[in-house]
A and B are shown apart, each in its own frame.
Chain A
Amino acid sequence: MLSNSKETCSGSRSRVEAAIQRRETDRVPKGEICIDEAVVKTSLSVDKAGFDKKLEFINKLGLDIVCLDPVYPEFIGRLPDPAEVCWADLGDWVNTGLFSFAVLDGVLGWGIKCFGFNQFLTLPNKSPLSIHSFTEKVTSLNIEMAGRLIDAGIDGLIIADDLAYRRGLLIKPRDMRRYVFSALQSQVAEMRRGGVPVFIHSDGNINEIIPDIIEAGFNGLHCIDRNSSMDILELQRNYGDRLCFWGSLSAEDLIKAHDPGCLQGLLDTICATAAKNGFILGTDCGLFKGIDLDGLALIYERVNCVAP
C-alpha cells in the first residue's frame, strides 16, 4: 500500500507546485484543507487514525496535498507561546511525497477567540491602538511558527482566517486593510522569503478584497464558496494570472454528484476551470463527519478521466 502510494505521490508535490505557479499539470491536483479523524476512521473501519491510516485515506482518495493543523495548548485567554504549538507527525508528512501545507490562524480568528466576537469586531471603532497591538502579536507568532515549519521542510503555508460570511466582509474594507491586511502583508513577505508559497483561506464572500489578497503577496486562495457568491470562473477570468484557486466543491455538490446529469455539470465546470491552470480541486470546507464521501470519490475518480 505504502509503496504504491509513494509512486502516486512522487508526482503530487510537483503537480501542486505547477498549479501554484499556474503552469500546466498532468492532471488536476486535488487536496482537502481539513480531514476530520472521524472520517478516516469510518472510511477505513479503524478505531484509531494515526499517520499511516491518514496517509492510506489520502491515497485512497487520490489527494496530492496534506494539510497539517496546529495543535495548540489549552486556551487560556491569550495567544500561545510559539514553542507551545506543534503539528502532528510533521516530520513524517514532509517526507511522503505529498505537497505539505501547514495551517496558521489569522488575526480575526485569534481576535474573536481572545476578545469575543462582538468585542473584537467593534475594536477598530472603540480602540484602534488595542487592535493594532494585537495584530502585531499575531504577526510575530505566525512568523515564528512559519520559520519552524519551513525549517522542518514544509512545502507551503495557509493562513486561515474567516474574513467574511455569506453576505460580505465582517468588518469594513477600510478597517480590514488598516489592521488585517497590513499584518498579513508582513507575514506573507517573511514566509515567502523562506521560499514557500502562502495561501489564504476564508469562508464567505470576499470578492471585495481579492485585489488586497493579491497585493499582500498571497500565491493562492482556498475555499471559493459558491453559496457566498464566489464564482470560480469569474475569479479566474479576473485574477487567474495572479492567484491559484483551490476548492470550490460544496457539501451539496457531493450529494448531487450521485445524479449523472449533475455530476456531468460539475465535471464540465471543473474542466473549464482546470483548463486555465492555477487550479486545485477540493471541497470548500474540508471533510467532516457526515459529508458525502462517496459523492466526493465519484467526482475525484471522474476528474482523473476527463480533466485537464
Chain B
Amino acid sequence: MINGLIKAIANLEEETTLRLVREKVESGETPLEIVEQCRKGVEIVGKRYSEEIYYLSDLIMSEEIFRGVMEILEPYFPKNTAQKEFKLIMGTIEGDIHDLGKNIVINLLRSVGFEVLDLGVDVQPGDFVECVRETGASVIGISVLLTFSINSVKKVIKLLGEAGLRDKVTVVIGGYPINERIREYTGADYYETDAVKAVELFKRIIMEKEGS
C-alpha cells in the first residue's frame, strides 16, 4: 500500500506534499527516507506519463514539487552523504531550434537528481567539446529533429576525437528522425527516440560509468 506522501506526489498535490514532508521531518524521519518516498511518487508520475494518463505539464509539475521538497530537506542532509552529482551536457545541434524533447529529458533527469547542463538550441559542435573540456562531463546528449543537421552531430564526434576526448565521453543522440543507421553514420554511442526511454538509457550509462 502506498503511503500518503507517495500518493500526494503521484497526484501532483503540491501543498499536501510539502505539508507531509514538513510533518515527517518533525516526526524524525530521515531526509533520505523522505526523498525515497518522493522518488517513488515521481516514478508513478513518470509511469502515468508513459501511459499517456499525464501530460507534459504534469511531469514538470512533479519536478517543481520535488524541487520544493528538496528545499525543505536541504538543511537536514548531512554534508558528507549528499548525493553525488553527475554532470551531463545536453543541447540541440546547430541549425535546429527544437527544444521540447530535450527539455523533457532534462526535466526528467533533474527530477531524479542529476545535474544537467543545458546548452540550449542551435549549439555549435565546438561548443559541446568546449563544455566537456571545461566541466569534465562524461555524457553528452544531442537532440536533433531536422535531418539536415545530422552532419553537425557527426562533427561533434569528430571534434571530440581531435580533442582527445572521445574515449572519455559517451554520446547519445535523440529525436524522431534518428535510427540505428544515423547513429552509425554519426559515430554516436547510443540513440533513443522516446523521452522516457532516453532517461532510462542515461541512468544506465551513468550507473555503468560510476561502477567503472
Least Cβ–Cβ distance between B69 and chain A, in angstroms: 15
- Write out the residue numbers on chain A whose beta carbons fall within 8 Å of the beta carbon of B77: none
Cβ-neighbour of A122 out of B52, B61, B95 (below 8 A): B61
Cβ of A170 and Cβ of B57 under 8 Å apart?
yes
Assess whether B18 is interfacial by the CB under 8 Å rule: no
Cβ of B101 and Cβ of A252 under 8 Å apart?
no
Assess whether A251 is interfacial by the CB under 8 Å rule: yes
- Write out the residue numbers on chain A whose beta carbons fall within 8 Å of the beta carbon of B176: 166, 227
- Write out the residue numbers on chain B whose beta carbons fall within 8 Å of the beta carbon of A255: 147
How many residues from B make CB contacts under 8 Å with A? Answer: 24
Cβ-neighbour of A118 out of B55, B60, B146 (below 8 A): B60
Interchain CA distance A125-B13 in the complex, whole Å: 9
What is the total of A-B residue contacts with beta carbons within 8 Å? 65
Cβ-neighbour of A125 out of B12, B147, B148 (below 8 A): B12
**Contact status of A125 and B95, CB under 8 A, knowing A165-B56, A166-B176, A290-B149:** no
* Contact-residue bracket for chain A: 20 to 34
Cβ of B149 and Cβ of A172 under 8 Å apart?
no
- Write out the residue numbers on chain B whose beta carbons fall within 8 Å of the beta carbon of A288: 95, 146
Cβ of B56 and Cβ of A290 under 8 Å apart?
no
18 A-B pairs with CB atoms under 8 Å apart are A121-B61, A122-B64, A124-B57, A125-B12, A125-B57, A126-B64, A165-B100, A166-B101, A167-B52, A167-B195, A171-B56, A172-B55, A172-B58, A251-B146, A251-B148, A289-B95, A290-B149, A291-B148
Write the residues of chain B forming the contact surface with A, with a CB cutoff of 8 angstroms. 12, 14, 52, 55-58, 60-61, 63-64, 95, 100-101, 103-104, 107, 146-149, 176-177, 195
Closest 5 CB pairs of A and B: A290-B148, A171-B57, A121-B57, A165-B100, A122-B61
